[in-house]
Homo-oligomer: A and B are copies of this chain.
């Protein structure tokens, strides 16, 4: 367990500029975001548990459940539910696609951890999927989660116009393919050990992280019955918090201990990986995170403040998270 920057690691205050935090809190009506997060995460966990019963063939369903039900903050599905509710939909409407987004996220983690990719042995404090079930099963568990995601959206989305379901599926599928998540992953793999520019770093993060968050918000908005302008505001909001999520991740890697993060800290530094603090300096990276949080929150001004409260808080939460 290494503390890379012990002086910063002891600083428990917000990692972004105070102005941003003020901006995110100023407009927010009284609302317990922690209670909201916990209630929605429970709901998502129950839905995910039901989505994959432990049935034959046992091994593949065990492997799928092992990674899907391993906890995690459920940021993506909660974003999807919040976006749906913002435009007037309810949780039941968005839940199938919220679950689909989490299945896809889990698939990407399982495949990323494979020996031929990032070769990680630990994920969320537990052995990675291929360490427990073998590489062959891990590849298949990812494939099965990806296809189940689409089956789930197509079969379980009730009381929604079919044209909206089709639009949501198109968005979701685009976000994870060779113009989305996979594009980010391949450019990331190809740039290992190379010197990359800030533009290239942003390309990687927008594709690896933002696009799935964007799809989560956009699909929630589409299924919830949102107008095109509402859906586009949600898209811009999510694109900002997606990048914000990654910038904060990079900052935490150099400012926190492994113990505080629950994963190996200083890993980016040790592997000479390009990060925002490395390319723009820690102070500028914090400023950039603040700017992204402000931009995200600006997009919410088009909506009713009370309804937008969860998304206001989500931006603040992602900007100020400590692990």
Complex Cα distance, B104 from A173, in Å, reads 13
Contacts of A143 in B (CB 8 A): 107-108, 111, 142-143, 146, 176-177, 182
Complex Cα distance, B165 from A151, in Å, reads 12
Complex Cα distance, B187 from A144, in Å, reads 14
In the complex, A178 has a CB within 8 A of chain B: yes
Does A186 contact B59, Cβ atoms closer than 8 Å? yes
Residue in B61, B116, B178, B190 whose CB lies within 8 Å of A135: B116
**Contacts A57-B190, A189-B136; A167 near B146 (Cβ below 8 A):** no
Question: How many copies of this chain does one complex carry?
Answer: 2
In the complex, A122 has a CB within 8 A of chain B: no
Q: Taking the nearest CB of chain B, how far is it from the CB of A57, in angstroms?
A: 5
Q: Which residue of B lies closest to A175 (CB)?
A: B147
Interface residues in chain A, defined as those with a beta carbon under 8 Å from any beta carbon in chain B: 52, 57, 59-61, 64, 107-108, 111, 114, 116-117, 134-137, 139-140, 142-144, 146-151, 153-155, 157, 161-163, 165-167, 169-170, 172-174, 176-178, 180, 182-183, 185-187, 189-190
Q: Taking the nearest CB of chain B, how far is it from the CB of A320, in angstroms?
A: 33
Does B183 contact A57, Cβ atoms closer than 8 Å? yes
Residue in B117, B151, B176 whose CB lies within 8 Å of A170: B151
Does A61 contact B170, Cβ atoms closer than 8 Å? no
Would you list 12 pairs from A and B whose C-beta atoms are within 8 A, ordered by A residue? Answer: A52-B178, A57-B187, A108-B143, A117-B139, A136-B189, A140-B186, A146-B146, A146-B147, A147-B182, A153-B169, A154-B166, A169-B169
